[in-house]
Chain A
């Protein structure tokens, strides 16, 4: 089944397309009628308030949950993903928020964990080469691949986790809160990384709470609210529009401040006029 999907992805191809996805947990509908498209070489940001269904959607795409109804199309073919390994073989890689790295192992061992080359006589040289190739393609700033992951910073760990997800040559990569809990410099580093993953022609679906980060890298911003689509925005959309879409209220702190500023500007302009 996987060889249908193994061919190279052409630029801008629609790799992942969701239509009418719903997910119920008992009486609670976490997702209702979600539509979502991810093209090759595109970063789609998924934003929404707590409980908007972002994580549920990512888990469906990672094969952790199954949708109650709706269809998932991957590279034009309808697919089902009964478990996480099915998603991986299709070419959908996920980096969860807790990166799940083994701190006592070095970078190479973490990247290849569970997929070691020649299991009975580990080929350390080949694995190290592949690890450096992956990290260099991402222009990653990892000092040494023979250091235990415990000695790396948060941004570097994120880099290792993303490099690991690229090992199986996926077509789409899902990032769950990649910049949460990172400092300014490390956030910038990870955003650069996302840019380079896009340049490699992968589709990126990124969950984030941080509007600045989203606007910095995303090509499209998809807003979820209470488990439903609540608008698609361009990255140059104003904070006010986004926050209104996320919270569903036109009247909030952001919009009030924006209105005050607008009023002040108008007053200022009127004063300047003769």
Chain B
């Protein structure tokens, strides 16, 4: 078979191109018009969040140029990682169309556990973290049990959990109210100081492009071999080059200051792993199916209850991990940890990033994009020296806008025949 796509179509029609009624976009112009078609029908993907990010960054930079300085952005990445990990868990429960309102409390409880077990009881730090994660997973399993066996809506069970787990947090912290984690320990260094060496960050920034190129070329050759239409190699190379240049530029800019935090590296690693699990494994396919049509998933032989169990357990464990990271970031476990806006920031991040509240649609990257939006607002308002009262109002408004966009896009998808 020839490498030229045009000859390809005239000589032998590809298996998936034989139906003449379907428009197939070819080339760069086709890709652009297909993109506009998708957006018009309500399949927005990451577009709203990227537009929002551009607006937010332009406004804050105009008000205070320090906002885009590399040192401020490095701090931003440190702050993103803690709530971002919690938002990743929220993506899991939203995928199956459920919600967990107690992630803030779970994160606070996990940080309190690490504080008491490690500092007060003298446990090894790794063991304390594992214990916190295990308890987080147990709480998630409890929600799943209430949901699967008793039919308790997750909205209510996790709202009850919000209070109960907050009570546990206050109980184990006792009268002192806060535990300081020792400065200079690995955990606190990880949360506050440790950044990747320059060479490593440049190398890691090249990895996504290389992986995309290799898997893309493999897919193209496999599809050609079995007579399916394949995307053009040229387009793939353009995209890989653009992505690699963009990432290297970002890394270069951040390396002018301290560099890429290891904690952010951990967060991105989790996002990538989660994205693979959601899109390329049977488990992820089952999660999407359960979120889209629970009864259809059950009839297809999917163990719906175990899928719900895995979603709730993963959400709570990510929340606990986020709590440990925020304890490391603040070098303390206090009664305030996980309260206030942590809960809603995590949920808002997932929704703003493009994961639907209605289930069955979303991606792990929405946690990454969404938390950058939320933290940009927080950081920009802090730089403007505005009080937290204004920050709450603005974050609340952004969340409302994100949900409105989600609802409108959903309505448009229904009327355009895209679910």
What's the nearest-Cβ distance from chain B to residue A149, in Å?
7
A116–B280 Cα gap in the complex (Å)? 10
Q: Which 4 A-B pairs have the closest CB atoms?
A: A150-B419, A119-B282, A104-B292, A103-B419
Contacts of A181 in B (CB 8 A): none
Does any Cβ of A come within 8 Å of B360's Cβ? yes
Contacts of A152 in B (CB 8 A): 417
What's the nearest-Cβ distance from chain A to residue B59, in Å?
35
Contact in complex: A114, B281 (CB < 8 Å): no
Contact in complex: B297, A113 (CB < 8 Å): yes
Give chain B's interface residues, CB within 8 Å of chain A: 15-16, 19, 21-22, 219, 222-223, 226, 228, 280-283, 285-286, 288-289, 291-293, 295-297, 299-302, 360-361, 413-414, 416-419
Known: A125-B222, A132-B15. A101 touches B293 (CB 8 A): yes
Does any Cβ of B come within 8 Å of A36's Cβ? no
Contacts of B301 in A (CB 8 A): 85, 114-115
Q: A144-B19, A144-B22 are in contact. List 14 more A-B contacts (CB 8 A).
A: A100-B293, A100-B299, A104-B291, A109-B288, A114-B286, A115-B300, A119-B281, A121-B281, A122-B285, A129-B226, A143-B19, A144-B16, A148-B418, A148-B419
Does any Cβ of B come within 8 Å of A35's Cβ? no
13 interchain pairs (CB within 8 A)? A96-B299, A100-B300, A104-B288, A105-B285, A113-B285, A113-B302, A125-B219, A129-B228, A136-B15, A145-B16, A146-B16, A148-B418, A150-B414
Does any Cβ of B come within 8 Å of A14's Cβ? no
Does any Cβ of B come within 8 Å of A102's Cβ? yes
Contacts of B300 in A (CB 8 A): 100, 113-115
Contact in complex: B282, A141 (CB < 8 Å): no
CB within 8 Å of B: which A123-158 residues: 125, 128-129, 132, 136, 141-146, 148-152
Contact in complex: A105, B288 (CB < 8 Å): yes
What's the nearest-Cβ distance from chain A to residue B262, in Å?
28
Question: Which residue of B is nearest A94, CB measured?
Answer: B299
A121–B215 Cα gap in the complex (Å)? 12
A105–B360 Cα gap in the complex (Å)? 9
A148–B292 Cα gap in the complex (Å)? 11
What's the nearest-Cβ distance from chain A to residue B191, in Å?
33
Contact in complex: B22, A104 (CB < 8 Å): no
Contact in complex: B16, A128 (CB < 8 Å): yes
Contacts of B417 in A (CB 8 A): 148, 150-152
What's the nearest-Cβ distance from chain B to residue A86, in Å?
12
Contacts of B360 in A (CB 8 A): 102, 104
Contact in complex: A100, B292 (CB < 8 Å): no
Does any Cβ of B come within 8 Å of A28's Cβ? no
Question: Which residue of A is nearest B358, CB measured?
Answer: A104
Does any Cβ of B come within 8 Å of A27's Cβ? no
Question: Which residue of A is nearest B17, CB measured?
Answer: A144
Contact in complex: B22, A143 (CB < 8 Å): yes
Contact in complex: A109, B285 (CB < 8 Å): yes
Contact of A101 among B21, B291, B296 (CB under 8 A): B296
Contacts of A114 in B (CB 8 A): 286, 297, 300-302
What's the nearest-Cβ distance from chain B to residue A110, in Å?
8
What's the nearest-Cβ distance from chain A to residue B388, in Å?
38
Does any Cβ of B come within 8 Å of A4's Cβ? no
Q: Which of the four size classes fits the interface of chain A?
A: 20 to 34
Contact in complex: A151, B302 (CB < 8 Å): no
Question: Which residue of A is nearest B219, CB measured?
Answer: A125
Question: Which residue of B is nearest A122, CB measured?
Answer: B280
Does any Cβ of B come within 8 Å of A120's Cβ? yes
Contact of B295 among A100, A104, A143 (CB under 8 A): A100
A152–B361 Cα gap in the complex (Å)? 18
A103–B419 Cα gap in the complex (Å)? 6
Contacts of A85 in B (CB 8 A): 301
A85–B302 Cα gap in the complex (Å)? 12
Question: Which residue of B is nearest A150, CB measured?
Answer: B419
What's the nearest-Cβ distance from chain B to residue A274, in Å?
59
Q: Which of B223, B283, B292 has the most CB of A within 10 A?
A: B292
A143–B23 Cα gap in the complex (Å)? 9
Contact of B281 among A84, A100, A120 (CB under 8 A): A120
Contact in complex: B292, A129 (CB < 8 Å): no
Question: Which residue of B is nearest A146, CB measured?
Answer: B16
A158–B286 Cα gap in the complex (Å)? 22
A226–B374 Cα gap in the complex (Å)? 64
What's the nearest-Cβ distance from chain A to residue B272, in Å?
15
A102–B299 Cα gap in the complex (Å)? 11
CB within 8 Å of B: which A163-206 residues: none
Contact in complex: A150, B21 (CB < 8 Å): no
Contact in complex: B296, A113 (CB < 8 Å): yes
Contacts of A144 in B (CB 8 A): 16, 19, 22
What's the nearest-Cβ distance from chain A to residue B217, in Å?
13
Contact in complex: A104, B419 (CB < 8 Å): yes
- A199-238 CB contact bits vs B (8 Å, 1 = yes)? 0000000000000000000000000000000000000000
CB within 8 Å of B: which A8-49 residues: none
Contact of B292 among A96, A102, A125, A151 (CB under 8 A): A102
A150–B416 Cα gap in the complex (Å)? 9
Contacts of B419 in A (CB 8 A): 103-104, 148-150
A115–B145 Cα gap in the complex (Å)? 26
What's the nearest-Cβ distance from chain A to residue B18, in Å?
8
What's the nearest-Cβ distance from chain A to residue B302, in Å?
5
A96–B298 Cα gap in the complex (Å)? 14
Q: Which of A115, A129, A146 has the most CB of B within 10 A?
A: A129
Contact in complex: A102, B296 (CB < 8 Å): yes
Q: Which of A100, A102, A121, A148 has the most CB of B within 10 A?
A: A102
A105–B291 Cα gap in the complex (Å)? 10
A115–B219 Cα gap in the complex (Å)? 22
What's the nearest-Cβ distance from chain A to residue B301, in Å?
4
A68–B141 Cα gap in the complex (Å)? 40
What's the nearest-Cβ distance from chain A to residue B141, in Å?
23
Contact in complex: A150, B288 (CB < 8 Å): no
A145–B15 Cα gap in the complex (Å)? 11
Known: A102-B360, A119-B281, A149-B419. A141 touches B289 (CB 8 A): no
